Structure 1
Amino acid sequence: MHRFSSIFHGSGLATHFSETLIWRHPPKKGLATTTILLRFLLVLIVAAFISSLWVDTSRFSVDNSINNTVIIFQKRQKPPKEIIIPLNCSTQNQTQTCPTNYPTTFQTQYPDPSSKASCPDYFRWVHEDLRPWKVTGITRDMVERANKTAHFRLIIVNNKAYIERYKKSIQTRDVFTIWGILQLLRKYPGRLPDLELMFDCDDRPVIFSRYYRGQNTTAPPPLFRYCGDRWTMDIVFPDWSFWGWPEINIRPWDSILREMKEGNNVKSKWIEREPYAYWKGNPFVAETRKDLLTCNVSDKQDWNARLYVQDWILESQQGFKQSNPARQCTHRYKIYIEGWAWSVSEKYILACDSMTLLVKPHYYDFFLRNLQPVEHYWPIREDQKCKSIKFAVDWGNNHKQKAQEIGKAASNFIQEKVKMDDVYDYMFHLLNEYAKLLKFKAMVPEGAVEICSETMACMANGLEKKFMVESMVKGPSVTSPCTMPPPYEPKVLGAFYRRKVNAIRRVENWENTYWDSFNKQ
């Protein structure tokens, strides 16, 4: 036996070691032949597997270059090629018209698995909002009766949009609502059916269900607006601020959502925030907000609330620098309270990572109905706001991990399920389901005007134009809308409501116990 030093090179790695040399018989020829045959059979089996009907060979590749080992890996599909179609603004000496070269058909360039994904669960409320017309359908007379309070009529015929205006809305609500619908047409050209609808841009719903009960009553007029409640039948549609709110310098939703996500992850960790409940707004639009101000901190009492009155005149003079909702995630808890009706502030508050303290709401927008107490927000009593807020903050500061989880669940819901793609898909399915109920052929009435992105954005100025350009859909989508979920089964919907009620009662019981023990001290 001899000792030796040697350097072995294997797989690019040099190893230096000393070893006792032991002579061994060379492998038998038959054994080597068997090994080769086994390897050959393995290659044949894998090849047969790949070519079978169970495998889409266009998506896979085979590599046997490493140690004769066969490796199967999935090919990376080419990313879909986006088509960008810019605004085509005419010169100042010409009348602005709608372009005739925009695509009128929708075709995905690549099959994308995400395009077949099911829509978020709150899309089911589309079926509930349209249920009043499920049996009767929607006649032209029903639509005409909805114009009593409507600000405009929208007509879509052959993928072109027309507007018949009745009156001006508050600020630019009507302008940016129409702008949003035009962006939907750019995103999914040729996919929206012909239709007519009436839209009311005011706050409170007006189609009261009590007037349309019983077999001998007429069906309600279908009227679109931004919110609903348990006593009305208005059809809920995403609000104008998703495309920007120039009057108070709030940017389009996509931009704010990115800014808030960055702030939540980097700039403002929950544990480092002020351990109080924060609210800032206009208290003079509703008695319930005036009542909220009594919960503010004072020399006599601290209800764990830090409340601020928004001075809109001063803000406008300062360029609304203190009104950016993405910069108001500075407290562990944020209060949402309705104004004259539902409030646009809701989505910005829920996206903050703070635990939302939701004062008992009476109105809902298109996604709020799916949120659950103690999972996405903390319920606050309407008639005992101060006590309820103090308990909520004390509970959260004593259960920091759970409070963070509630805040995170809400912001995740907003970030992941209320993105602009989701907003457009909700609009898409709502308008499609609505159009299925129409019992008449949509027609462009005399006096209606064709409208498109060019006739709106090219003629706009200032922040109005800036936000239109910023929120404009650049071109047709390369993927299809999400798949619409089926309606709620009555038992499932009943269980959903019971779960919500039971969670609120549980919190109220905790709160009662807290104050009982506090009063005994």
Structure 2
Amino acid sequence: MCLTLLMGISIIFLLLPCEPVLTLMIDPKLCEVWGPGLSASDIVMPARYFFIQAVDVSGTKLTLSPGEVFTVEISGTSGARVCRVWVNVLDRRDGSFIVRYKVYNSCVDFRIQITHQGEHVADSPYAVTGTVNGEECLCPVESMSTWLKQYGCPSSYSQIDSDLNKFTAVNFTSLRSGLIKRYDHPGSMSICNYVIKDSQIHRKCYGQHVGFKMFVDAILLSLARKVRLPDMEFFFNLGDWPLVKAEQGHRDPVFAWCGSDDTDDIVVPTYDLTEATLECMGRVTLDMLSVQGNTDVPWRDRAEKAFWRGRDSRRERLQLIEIARKHPHLFNASLTNFFFFRDQEADYGPKEKHISFFRFFDYKYVINIDGTVAAYRLPYLLAGGSLVLKQESKYYEFFYKSLEPWKHYVPFSQDLGDLVQRVSWAKQHDARAEAIAGEGRRFAQEHLLPQHVFCYHAVLLHEWSRRVESPVSVLEGMEPVPQPHSDCPCAREASRPHTEL
């Protein structure tokens, strides 16, 4: 957790008498206070962030918000102009703050100032040596191994190990035509064949509905601006349903956003979480940082009901409405749209208007129930600090197998048979429910923030490239996926010869 990182800086700054003592903790990987061997250009994210934790005069961390006590200013120069930086301070309402900021062009003389009532906190101001580059700067680190270490990525993930264990050597020369034949079904499946050669991205897609390739393109392009990607080839499933049937006998190397107990797709972070990472402080409003800074109701004041909103994408969601109507003192659950069961709208409607996702956390308990596959909202539910009630399911995302029932969430059966019992238990065991909610939020903080999404993609691609034994070349009919125009000074360095360490 970033608030207790050993690598962080923890210094107490004593304010005026009778005022709180403030501890500033900053993670070098996230806020660009770099450690040995790192430079400003090594670590770039669309929105960067660091954390501030307030403590009382005895050194105990505050658990409630002290209010808007910090002022954060970030400055620099870009040629003859002032560096353009957008800063946003998010109050997590538990005594800690997220400071996130977006750099729009390459900056030098970069300084981060954090003050309280005009006085600098801890070692503020923090000066950054070197150039701080914007997200669209094409400034890749030459070695993937070096970049992974510099970025603070783990050497492995259990889900990646599990997914890739069946692939020791992959020869697309012999596999490719069979893969295309099995999955080129335009009415029901959409896949893309990707080739990365000399850190340039190329693809050919199959199917009627291939618009979601934009999410794959975006994360690959973003990574390629940060680190020179190794040569590789892979297929990507653009649909929600995993495709590789475990019993079919084929070891098909297909990447997907969702996995299941009866399929063998190689799982990556969902398009939703990936877009939220790439567009943080951009065109999306819901991301893993904003959800933590917009839950302004403390646990003790949240309503003691289980909350849910969503569309009718699974029969169990209709069952949830039936349960909620029988137990209105325990549930606030409604459908917002009818598509799959339009003929039953009269029974399960009327439709409720959409409400802000942030308002879900006005309730102590939130329900995660499958849609067409896994409900991709689980990362945000965990981050909101309410107790997550999660349906048991065969579907999973890239992080599910690291979650522990009764530690990070409370499980309920797939048929919803014990859901009422679970909500009643939570009401009767408020302290325990709050503790589980806190553990769920901690899990999100440690595994699901933007840095973690980048790391997972990078580690997977790094490991996958080692398994591709067939020659990697751009195939006939493939189209290039170009980088956006960049006038950063280091853009020319991307063409340097690559040496893997």
TM-score range, shorter chain: 0.5 to 0.7
| Distance of 1:344 and 1:287 partners within structure 2 | 17
Deviations 1:40-98 (A, max 9, x none): xxxxxxxxxxxxxxxx9xxxxxxxxxxxxxxxxx9x996464532575xxxxxxxxxxx
The Cα of 1:120 is off from its aligned counterpart by 9.0
CA contact (8 A) 2:148 2:455 kept: no
The Cα of 1:250 is off from its aligned counterpart by 12
The sequence identity of aligned pairs, in percent, is: 20
Task: Choose the corresponding residue for 1:182, options 203, 221, 241.
Answer: 221
User: For residues 104 and 378 of structure 1, do their structure 2 counterparts lie closer, same or farther at Cα, with a shift above 3 Å needed?
Assistant: closer
Task: Choose the corresponding residue for 1:277, options 306, 323, 328.
Answer: 306
Is 1:127 aligned to residue 178 of structure 2?
no
| Distance of 1:238 and 1:365 partners within structure 2 | 7
Structure 1's unaligned 5+ residue stretches are 1-55, 57-73, 88-100, 213-218, 314-319, 458-473, 477-521
Q: Helix, strand or coil: the match of 2:203?
A: strand
Q: More displaced, 332-341 or 342-351? A: 342-351
| Distance of 2:260 and 2:142 partners within structure 1 | 36
TM-score (norm 2): 0.61
- Equivalence for 1:194: 231
Q: Helix, strand or coil: the match of 1:133?
A: coil
| Distance of 1:153 and 1:241 partners within structure 2 | 21
The Cα of 1:427 is off from its aligned counterpart by 0.5
The amino acid across from 1:102 in the alignment is: L
Q: Helix, strand or coil: the match of 2:308?
A: strand
| Distance of 1:233 and 1:252 partners within structure 2 | 34
Structure 2's unaligned 5+ residue stretches are 1-35, 37-122, 184-188, 340-351, 494-501
Deviations 1:197-225 (A, max 9, x none): 1111111112112122xxxxxx5111111
- Equivalence for 2:337: 311
Task: Choose the corresponding residue for 1:102, options 138, 141, 145.
Answer: 138
Deviations 1:425-484 (A, max 9, x none): 1101111111111121111112212213428x9xxxxxxxxxxxxxxxx999xxxxxxxx
User: For residues 114 and 129 of structure 1, do their structure 2 counterparts lie closer, same or farther at Cα, with a shift above 3 Å needed?
Assistant: closer
Q: Which runs of structure 2 are paired with 1:93-242 in the superposition (5 Å)?
A: 102-106=138-142, 115=150, 117=152, 119=154, 123-134=157-168, 136-147=169-180, 148=183, 149-169=189-209, 172-188=211-227, 190=228, 192-212=229-249, 219-242=250-273
| Distance of 1:250 and 1:276 partners within structure 2 | 32
| Distance of 2:459 and 2:215 partners within structure 1 | 20
User: For residues 363 and 82 of structure 1, do their structure 2 counterparts lie closer, same or farther at Cα, with a shift above 3 Å needed?
Assistant: farther
- Equivalence for 1:335: 367
Q: Helix, strand or coil: the match of 2:385?
A: coil
- Equivalence for 1:287: 315
| Distance of 1:120 and 1:161 partners within structure 2 | 24
The Cα of 1:297 is off from its aligned counterpart by 2.7
The amino acid across from 1:155 in the alignment is: V
CA contact (8 A) 2:391 2:413 kept: yes
- Equivalence for 1:18: none
CA contact (8 A) 1:161 1:450 kept: yes
Is 1:424 aligned to residue 457 of structure 2?
no
Identify the structure with the greater helix proportion: 1
Q: Helix, strand or coil: the match of 2:332?
A: strand
The amino acid across from 2:237 in the alignment is: D
The amino acid across from 2:382 in the alignment is: L
| Distance of 2:220 and 2:135 partners within structure 1 | 17
- Equivalence for 1:405: 435
| Distance of 2:359 and 2:282 partners within structure 1 | 13
The Cα of 1:183 is off from its aligned counterpart by 1.0
CA contact (8 A) 1:163 1:451 kept: yes
CA contact (8 A) 1:350 1:410 kept: yes
- Equivalence for 2:347: none
CA contact (8 A) 2:382 2:444 kept: yes
TM-score (norm 1): 0.59
Q: Helix, strand or coil: the match of 1:446?
A: coil
| Distance of 1:198 and 1:329 partners within structure 2 | 38
Q: How many residues align?
A: 345
The amino acid across from 1:397 in the alignment is: K
Q: Helix, strand or coil: the match of 1:278?
A: strand
By relative contact order (CA 8 Å, sep 6+), the higher-ranking structure is 1
User: For residues 138 and 352 of structure 1, do their structure 2 counterparts lie closer, same or farther at Cα, with a shift above 3 Å needed?
Assistant: farther
CA contact (8 A) 1:143 1:222 kept: no
Task: Choose the corresponding residue for 1:441, options 471, 490, 493.
Answer: 471
CA contact (8 A) 1:209 1:233 kept: yes
- Equivalence for 1:84: 133
User: For residues 144 and 370 of structure 1, do their structure 2 counterparts lie closer, same or farther at Cα, with a shift above 3 Å needed?
Assistant: farther
| Distance of 1:392 and 1:331 partners within structure 2 | 15
The amino acid across from 2:426 in the alignment is: G
User: For residues 113 and 418 of structure 1, do their structure 2 counterparts lie closer, same or farther at Cα, with a shift above 3 Å needed?
Assistant: same
- Equivalence for 1:61: none
Q: CA RMSD in A?
A: 3.7
Is 1:360 aligned to residue 392 of structure 2?
yes
The Cα of 1:138 is off from its aligned counterpart by 4.0
The Cα of 1:336 is off from its aligned counterpart by 0.4
CA contact (8 A) 2:336 2:354 kept: no
The Cα of 1:281 is off from its aligned counterpart by 0.3
Deviations 1:312-366 (A, max 9, x none): 89xxxxxx99454233211100110111111222222222111110111110111
The amino acid across from 1:435 in the alignment is: S
| Distance of 1:395 and 1:106 partners within structure 2 | 54
CA contact (8 A) 1:168 1:174 kept: no
